[in-house]
Amino acid sequence: MGVPWTILLCCFGAVLCLRGSQALQCYSFEHIYSSPFDLSGKKLPTVSCSNQCFEAVSSLSTGYRSSVTLVKKGCWTGSPNGQMEVNQDSLPPDYSLVRGCATDLCNVDIVSHDSIPNLSPAPNPPLLSGTECYACLGTFPEDCTVSKSRRVQCHLDESVCFQGNGRMTIANSSVPVYIRTCHRPSCTVVGTSSPWTDIDLQGSCCKGNLCNQDSVVPLFTAAAAPPQAPCLVVLLLTVPLLVGVLVGPLGLSL
């Protein structure tokens, strides 16, 4: 006697559901560091992912032994790899790395600061420009006040001072950054980028020792911009009033 087809369908459906429930296990972690990081001794939490695991690190430096590093691990739905545009001469110096993988707990390669190249190398040849600037880097304005900034002797090709602010972004995670450091006379802010990371900086340069002592907080922020929606509301309210004014004296009906 054969097995009823309804039972076979139920069994087949149960197998599919069981397979679908076997989600990929990935490490889940996000943290901002202002000094070298080491995850080797940490027990990281895990999360179930439907597609891929990923890990990423993005670091910005003054070039004078101050840095901010964002590390992120979790689920991933994008391509497992992508073009990384590396600029060895970027100023302020920065670095980004993104990895995607598709096996359980595979996002384990980014473990310590050794994953990042040295963004504060000594000048070679060891010559200085003669300019002195304030240097600081942090995620809050108070991290980069003049009183908390170091005085540094600028490298040979860096003869002006820089001050500014911006954001570091990995996927959907973003943190503000505030910075003072030395810069080249061109004052061009360029850096490393990838399809999933971004370090967006804005600022200005000045000539003269310790001249970069102005506020690093932007003068105009998105929150302070004039709101646009009320203008639309006023316009929508004004149109019926104008129509009423014009239509009334003419005796027209709408």
Name the pTM for this structure. 0.75
According to the model, what pLDDT value does residue 188 have? 87
Per residue in 6-36, pLDDT (tens digit) is 444 444 444 444 444 468 999 999 999 999 9
Among all chains, which residue has been given the structure tokens 């940490």? 42
Candidate from 2-6, 157-161, 189-193 with smallest mean pLDDT: 2-6
According to the model, what pLDDT value does residue 219 have? 60
**Position with higher pLDDT, 237 vs 65:** 65
Cis peptide before 125 (omega within 30 of 0): yes
According to the model, what pLDDT value does residue 218 have? 81
On whether residue 169 sits in a domain, the answer given is yes
The answer to whether the beta carbons of residues 60 and 87 sit under 8 Å apart is no
Mean pLDDT over the full length of the chain: 80
Number of domains comprising the chain:
1
* Model confidence at 191: pLDDT above 80: no
* Model confidence at 165: pLDDT above 70: yes
According to the model, what pLDDT value does residue 125 have? 86
On whether residue 4 sits in a domain, the answer given is no
Confidence band (pLDDT; 50, 70, 90) for 80? low
Per residue in 112-124, pLDDT (tens digit) is 999 899 999 888 8
On whether residue 227 sits in a domain, the answer given is no
Of 122, 119, 124, 145, nearest in space to 134 by CA: 145
Confidence band (pLDDT; 50, 70, 90) for 193? low
Confidence band (pLDDT; 50, 70, 90) for 246? very low
* Model confidence at 52: pLDDT above 80: yes
Arithmetic mean of pLDDT, 109-134:
92
Range of the domain at 164: 22-116+125-218
According to the model, what pLDDT value does residue 172 have? 87
Q: What is the CATH number of the domain that holds 168?
A: 2.10.60.10
Residue 17 contacts by C-beta under 8 Å, 6 or more apart in sequence? Answer: none
On whether residue 243 sits in a domain, the answer given is no
According to the model, what pLDDT value does residue 85 have? 61
According to the model, what pLDDT value does residue 171 have? 87
Instruction: Report the alpha-carbon distance of residue 93 to residue 87 in Å, rounded.
Output: 9
On whether residue 132 sits in a domain, the answer given is yes
Arithmetic mean of pLDDT, 214-222:
72
Instruction: Report the alpha-carbon distance of residue 172 to residue 249 in Å, rounded.
Output: 57
On whether residue 201 sits in a domain, the answer given is yes
Confidence band (pLDDT; 50, 70, 90) for 97? confident
The answer to whether the beta carbons of residues 54 and 101 sit under 8 Å apart is yes
